[in-house]
Amino acid sequence: VDIDRVDYTPSEDLAVEHDDFARALDEALSEIEDMRDIVRDRFGPEFAAVFHVQIQILEDKGFVRNIHQAIDETRSARDALQQVLETYRRTFERIEDPYFRERGTDIEDVGQRVMSRLLGVRDHLEPMKRGSIVVVDQLLPALFAQLEMDKVAAVIAEHGGQTSHGVIFARTLEIPAVTGATGILEEAREGEGAIVDGATGTIYLSPDDALTREFEQAQHQYEVAVEHLDAMRERPAETLDGHRIKLSANAGLLADLRLVEKHGAEGVGLFRTELLALAHRGFPSEEEQGQLYQRVVDFLDPRPVTIRTLDLGGDKGIPNIGLDDEENPQLGCRSIRLMLENRRAFRAQLRAILRASVRGNLRMMLPMIGSLSELREAKGVIDEVRLELERDGTPFDPALPVGIMIEVPSAALTAPVLARECDFFSIGTNDLTQYTLAVDRGNERVAHLYDPLHPAVLQLIQMTVRAGRDADIPVSVCGEMATNPLSVPILVGLGIGELSGTPAAVPVVKEIVRALDAREVEADARAALLARTPAEVHAIAATRLRSAGLVEHPDIGGWLGQLLEDALGPV
């Protein structure tokens, strides 16, 4: 709502202005209470915290009194509200501490909500029906805290690439998502039927009956295949010659953990902690994080879980931490860099993770480490926090493994040095690809250049694996590549011991691993490292999957065949 452009004529009667404001306040309050309940039920109580803060603001006597006073002065409820919000905004902007500064955004948020009620602006969206397709400009992670995702059948975004965080969240929740659909906001009409094919990225608006039937059938086949595979979830991921690969899943919500179990993942190889911060629009407190991590660890115990420290910035901005005006956010104050600048928030998270470490099988992972000095600085903070906990007598596991993500080329190139000072490596191929190929992972215009199977990326993976082997620390891959069928033979061939990706893809990866021979894929990996183009690598991988008989697989053969045909051309 552009408030300056909405007509508002105050009543002659001042009492009416006071009453209208009071009613708007009540309505806003009950709206926020409803949202709080929905989010709490959907994702867990810690995600609802932002709404508690907003409710507190609306119930704050000082805030309400200030507005009533301003109504007496301005004789207009709208002007009064606007004036008070502006004063609060300026006050909060001057606060140095980012945690308190960002509470200003909450005031602004609730203020806008009251204003909309006062002006009688109604949400023009109908309540969402089950099976809705959501069309947005950008698929931002915060959407997942705002929408009833269980009613969403698919998401289409006008902009964005295939590996943005919003897409990853959608994939984890098994919601088909198509991004970079130029013109879709113009073309799609509310209430219009559509088919979204997440596998090919095709959208059919107003499909006819025959097409609808065809897709309904395909969807049914897919569901049957998933059911078959899930029923075999206890089988190990072992190659024909007995080489064992650990298959884990990535998660970021409590709701994802159910999928980890359903699809037979052996643990969580990457727990992304950003969603809590995004839902809060700020750094979450130690208590809120602690509750979440403990529930995650408890749920999975005795299976292992790797919790990653906050990876904010880049495409996961939160307000009021000074990231808004960065020209190159992906190269800016992102991830570990941001946390090292915000020590208080970093320490709160480290304390929460360490405290959860007594409860189960936990590892801690630092994202986007680019140099030894950065690793040492971060580990220095961890040591300080350990001492602090020891002093308070708070229990934690002193042997909690601390590892790093290898997702910047400088880290892969200096992996032998880093390996000596950490307990494990996990290769974040989403970013490693972005930074190696200089291709923004969220930009659809360069999406055709983004390819983790580029020989340059493979060289860096190989260096990392070797460094890990020499230092005797485990090396996993936790980027989306880990669960891409074409990548599996190459990664196994390169000597990766653990693959962690989308939960729903775990059974498919397992079928692939079980059809491979470790020595054969080692030879494939050697050939891939010498390949001149990504296309040559695709061909090597596709040939292997085909000769392993996977195209004849009763459950996954159909669509895998299609995928291989695209990589290789028809037989």
x/- binding map, residues 129-168, to ligand PEP, per CB under 6 A?
---------------------------------------x
- Position among 439, 478, 504, 563 found at the interface with ligand PEP (CB under 6 A): 478
The β-bridge relationship of strands 194-197 and 202-205 is: antiparallel
Rounded distance between C-alpha atoms, residue 329 and residue 351, angstroms: 28
Neighbouring residues of 489: CB distance < 8 A, sequence distance ≥ 6: 512, 516, 521, 524, 525, 541, 544, 545, 548
Query: How many other CB atoms are found less than 10 A from the CB of residue 464?
Result: 27
Whether the link from the prior residue into 302 is cis, omega within 30° of 0, is yes
The SS3 call for residue 524 is helix
- Position among 370, 428, 452, 485 found at the interface with Mg ion (CB under 5 A): 428
Q: Which does 498 bind (CB under 5 to 8 A by kind): ligand PEP, Mg ion, none?
A: none
- CA nearest to 174, candidates 244, 259, 286: 259
If binding is defined by CB under 6 A, does position 479 make contact with ligand PEP?
yes
Closer residue to ligand PEP in complex, CB, 71/467: 467
x/- binding map, residues 270-309, to ligand PEP, per CB under 6 A?
x-x-------------------------------------
If binding is defined by CB under 5 A, does position 264 make contact with Mg ion?
no
The SS3 call for residue 125 is coil
Closer residue to ligand PEP in complex, CB, 263/316: 316
Neighbouring residues of 454: CB distance < 8 A, sequence distance ≥ 6: 433, 436, 437, 534, 537
| Catalytic residue flag (residue 478) | yes
Q: Which does 188 bind (CB under 5 to 8 A by kind): Mg ion, ligand PEP, none?
A: none
Give me the residue whose beta carbon is nearest to Mg ion.
431
Closer residue to ligand PEP in complex, CB, 106/407: 407
Closer residue to Mg ion in complex, CB, 158/431: 431
Pick out residues in 310-349 that bind ligand PEP (CB under 6 A).
311
Which of 165, 263, 280, 538 is an active site residue?
Answer: 165
Rounded distance between C-alpha atoms, residue 447 and residue 433, angstroms: 11
x/- binding map, residues 379-418, to Mg ion, per CB under 5 A?
----------------------------x-----------
Element (H, E) at 480: none
Q: Which does 334 bind (CB under 5 to 8 A by kind): Mg ion, ligand PEP, none?
A: none
Residue 463 CB, shortest distance to ligand PEP, in Å, is 16
Which of 333, 422, 454, 478 is an active site residue?
Answer: 478
| Angle between helix 429-437 and 455-471 (nearest 10) | 130
| Structure tokens belonging to residue 255 | 């709701």
Q: How many residues bind ligand PEP (CB under 6 A)?
A: 11
What single letter denotes the amino acid at residue 255?
Answer: A
Residue 428 CB, shortest distance to ligand PEP, in Å, is 3
Residue 427 CB, shortest distance to ligand PEP, in Å, is 7
**Which residues are bridge partners to 402 per DSSP?**
364
Rounded distance between C-alpha atoms, residue 164 and residue 481, angstroms: 13
Pick out residues in 411-440 that bind ligand PEP (CB under 6 A).
428-431
| Angle between helix 103-118 and 14-43 (nearest 10) | 120
Question: 322 to each of 96, 269, 461, 481, how far by Cα in Å?
Answer: 11, 31, 34, 32
- Helices and strands (DSSP H and E) totals, the chain: 25, 13
Rounded distance between C-alpha atoms, residue 36 and residue 467, angstroms: 47
x/- binding map, residues 237-276, to ligand PEP, per CB under 6 A?
---------------------------------x-x----
| Catalytic residue flag (residue 333) | no
- CA nearest to 251, candidates 274, 231, 233: 274
If binding is defined by CB under 5 A, does position 431 make contact with Mg ion?
yes
Residue 535 CB, shortest distance to ligand PEP, in Å, is 22
Q: Which does 374 bind (CB under 5 to 8 A by kind): ligand PEP, Mg ion, none?
A: none
Q: Which residues are catalytic?
A: 165, 478
Contact set with Mg ion (CB under 5 A): 407, 428, 431
The residues of the shown chain that bind ligand PEP, judged by CB under 6 A, are: 168, 270, 272, 311, 407, 428-431, 478-479
